[in-house]
Amino acid sequence: MKNNMNTKFYFFSGKGGVGKTTMAASSAVYFAGLGKKTLIVTTDPASNLADVFEQKIGHKITKIKTNENLFAMELDPDVATAEYKERTLSPLRGLIPEESFVVLEEQLNSPCTAEMAAFDRFTDFLQEPKYEIVIFDTAPTGHTLRLLELPVEWSGVIEKAAKEGGGETCIGPAAALSESKAKFDQAIAAMRDTSRTTFVFVLRPEVTPIYEAERSIAELLKLKITSQELIINGIYPQDVCNNPFMLARLAKQQEFLGIIKNKFSIPITLIELEPGEIKGEKSLIKMGKKLHEQALKLKDYQPVKITIDKSKFTLGDIPKVDEKIKPLLIPQNSKRRTIFFAGKGGVGKTSVAAATGLWIAEQGYKTLLLTTDPASHLSQIFEQDVNDKPTLIKGEKSLWACRIDPVKAVAEYKEKILVEARQKYDKQRVIAIEEELNSPCTEEMATFEKFIDFATRKDFEVIVFDTAPTGHTLRLLELPVDWSKQIEIKTFTSTGETEIDKITKSRFKEVIDMIQDINQTTFSFVMYPESTPIEEAARAMDELLAIGVPTSLVVANFILPKSIITNDYLRQRKTMQEKYLVEMERRFTSPIVELPLLVDDLIGKDNLMLAGHMLYGK
């Protein structure tokens, strides 16, 4: 379909919690205010777009009540999956033998279908002729890069399968997917067109978001996507930093701004931290104008000279160990303890998980800290290499760290499946399986397999999981339940369970039983005291409870110490935090521990140790 409007596309991406949704929503309001018909779509499975616009949105294009030119949609993975299945199956009903239809239907019940459905819908919006502006508020970076890579990967998979004589892909025959390939190719062309598409990376002046942006920009260049900009969000206004603590925070920000200036040669805009939340029409209009008309450029920023006296910092007393919290962190009755930290991107999950792992190891328990987040930075936090094998943290006797490496996980998963296939099938069938394993869906299954491997290990007394942002964590935790049901369906519709199925089902049952048992598992949510992290956590808690997983602990992060409240700006932020801390007490029945905003980023063991003591006592 010809796009007469020559739609312009804007992608807002970055590490979780840096303000992507705020910048995307403010930009949408700004463009709509100029009279341009604008659509904002969120691809984040844990979206807070409705919270920002203060109205229901959901999985349909919805008019924003306060602006006649503005429309929004929250892409729901479950609804997208159901729609994709129906779209795939309906043309085949009655046209193919019933037994073949049942096999295809069973294939589409695979949890892998959700990824396929999400990116299929995503590519639809890259051919949107009804709008002058389409803005994508994306999931945190690791998952966004995955989404952007998929059209390129799937186009290649379909093309290769077609060349090899009507070959199969894991989503059907290549011949039947020619229309999809054309759509994917158009999506790739749109993303690479510098006159139509701009990628905007939002970051805060901190170590891990800078590293994340640098990595992501390089990944996009590999995909030949070159039109990129940066927004540095959360800059402290210089005139409110009138105490030693805030001056130290400002000095650290200025140091990082210098690093950013040297690292990146793309346009960079600075946005100051507002004293209150940005949600609702008035604040979005104000932020949109600030971002697109009034914002300072990094090249024009003038740092101030700062002298810091750290002896004047007072964070308050380190608490004593709370005996009610202790059993949630250390093994009880000789059972291994597994702790999950989840929450909205940017709430400090990785730092809290690392501080918790260090605190537990201090008590003498053999502890593994594991990240399932593709955009995690445990290596930067511990200032040493952390890879896909458990690595002892330097200077520690009881703490190991590890991350799931998707590339290695895929290679190992493929080899495992092929070894089994070669023992059971002829050469032609093995080649077909190998082709199927080249599907982009394989990464989700490989990561999931690794998660299961670690979750069932017996060689650690405590395993602390630093998880991906909420929507992707829920997906990972629901997979054992989904796949266990899938094996049940397979048993019912075929000749019975294979030996591999029996082993897999047993492992899934072990993980399901473990995550549902509060005597073995502590599920924790990290949030800062503002509306959107609280709303997202509340929704996720309900969803986990639906699969039998209760929440046992809540961490309130980035609490402003009372000793630093020395002006109206800081008083306004502190008042807002106190309002939401009361809200958290009202809404959550789990114990709540608080971690104050510290003068230094949580990098290095000393800072992590301090954070652990502030959280759980000494």
Residue 199, pLDDT > 60, answer: yes
**Mean pLDDT lowest for which of 44-48, 128-132, 593-597?**
44-48
Question: Mean pLDDT, to the nearest integer, of 358-386?
Answer: 85
In this prediction, residue 147 has a pLDDT band, given cuts at 50, 70 and 90, of low
Q: Which two tokens stand for residue 402?
A: 């590890």
Q: Which two tokens stand for residue 326?
A: 């202790």
State whether 87 and 228 are in the same domain.
yes
Residue 521 pairs in a beta bridge with 338
The verdict on residue 1 lying in a domain is no
User: Could you say which of 300, 323, 339 is where a domain stops?
Assistant: 300
The answer to whether the beta carbons of residues 468 and 372 sit under 8 Å apart is yes
Check residue 164 and give left, alpha or beta (phi > 0: left; psi -120 to 50: alpha). alpha
What pLDDT is recorded for position 2? 34
Give the model confidence (pLDDT) of 338-360 as tens digits.
Answer: 898 988 777 888 899 999 999 99
What pLDDT is recorded for position 66? 87
The pairing of strands 168-169 and 172-173 is antiparallel
Residue 9 pairs in a beta bridge with 134, 197
State whether 393 and 468 are in the same domain.
yes
Which is more confident, 555 or 89?
555
Question: Mean pLDDT, to the nearest integer, of 371-376?
Answer: 68
The domain in which residue 415 lies consists of 349-616
What pLDDT is recorded for position 115? 62
The pairing of strands 521-527 and 337-342 is parallel
State whether 154 and 56 are in the same domain.
yes
Which is more confident, 45 or 229?
229
State whether 129 and 22 are in the same domain.
yes
State whether 554 and 612 are in the same domain.
yes
**Mean pLDDT lowest for which of 121-130, 315-324, 364-373, 485-494?**
485-494
The verdict on residue 67 lying in a domain is yes
Q: What is the DSSP letter of 563?
A: G
Which is more confident, 600 or 23?
23
What pLDDT is recorded for position 148? 56
The verdict on residue 308 lying in a domain is no
The verdict on residue 27 lying in a domain is yes
The answer to whether the beta carbons of residues 40 and 87 sit under 8 Å apart is no
Task: Give the span between the Cα atoms of 599 and 569, in whole angstroms.
Answer: 18
Question: Mean pLDDT, to the nearest integer, of 438-444?
Answer: 64
Tell me, letter by letter, the H, E, C secondary structure of 47-116: CCHHHHHCCCCCCCCEECCCCCCEEEEECCHHHHHHHHHHHHHHHHCCCCCHHHHHHHHHHHCCCHHHHH
CATH of the domain at 500: 3.40.50.300
Residue 541, pLDDT > 50, answer: yes
User: Could you say which of 281, 300, 319 is where a domain stops?
Assistant: 300
Residue 486, pLDDT > 50, answer: no
Question: Mean pLDDT, to the nearest integer, of 332-336?
Answer: 78
What pLDDT is recorded for position 369? 93
Count of other CB atoms within 10 angstroms of residue 70: 26
State whether 413 and 268 are in the same domain.
no
Sign, CA torsion 114/116/122/124: negative
Task: Give the span between the Cα atoms of 614 and 321, in whole angstroms.
Answer: 10
* 134: helix, strand or coil: strand
pTM of this structure: 0.75
Task: Give the span between the Cα atoms of 531 and 577, in whole angstroms.
Answer: 10
State whether 607 and 519 are in the same domain.
yes
What pLDDT is recorded for position 558? 92
What pLDDT is recorded for position 387? 85
In this prediction, residue 26 has a pLDDT band, given cuts at 50, 70 and 90, of very high
Burial of 525 (0-12, 13-18, 19+ CB in 10 A): buried
Q: Which residues contact 554 (CB under 8 A, 6 or more apart)?
A: 524, 525, 527, 537, 584, 588, 590, 591, 592, 593
In this prediction, residue 157 has a pLDDT band, given cuts at 50, 70 and 90, of low
The verdict on residue 144 lying in a domain is yes
In this prediction, residue 171 has a pLDDT band, given cuts at 50, 70 and 90, of very low
**Mean pLDDT lowest for which of 93-97, 108-112, 538-542?**
108-112
Order of all β-strands in the sheet with 367-371? 391-392, 399-403, 367-371, 462-466, 337-342, 521-527, 553-559, 592-596
If we measure between CA atoms, which residue out of 114, 111, 104, 40 comes closest to residue 83? 114
User: Could you say which of 239, 268, 300 is where a domain stops?
Assistant: 300
State whether 367 and 280 are in the same domain.
no
State whether 285 and 374 are in the same domain.
no
The verdict on residue 318 lying in a domain is no
The answer to whether the beta carbons of residues 168 and 432 sit under 8 Å apart is yes
Residue 123, pLDDT > 80, answer: no
Amino acid (1-letter code) at residue 309: D
Residue 136 pairs in a beta bridge with 11, 41
* pLDDT, the chain, mean: 79
State whether 600 and 473 are in the same domain.
yes
The verdict on residue 315 lying in a domain is no
Residue spans of beta strands (DSSP E) within 226-328: 228-235, 268-272, 296-297
* Structural domains in the chain (count): 2
Amino acid (1-letter code) at residue 546: A
Q: Which residues contact 179 (CB under 8 A, 6 or more apart)?
A: none
Q: Which two tokens stand for residue 501?
A: 């199925």
State whether 374 and 267 are in the same domain.
no
What pLDDT is recorded for position 329? 92
Give the model confidence (pLDDT) of 238-289 as tens digits.
Answer: 989 988 889 989 999 999 999 999 999 899 999 999 988 888 889 999 999 9
The verdict on residue 478 lying in a domain is yes
What pLDDT is recorded for position 173? 44
Give the model confidence (pLDDT) of 62-73 as tens digits.
Answer: 999 988 999 999
Which is more confident, 168 or 163?
163
State whether 285 and 356 are in the same domain.
no
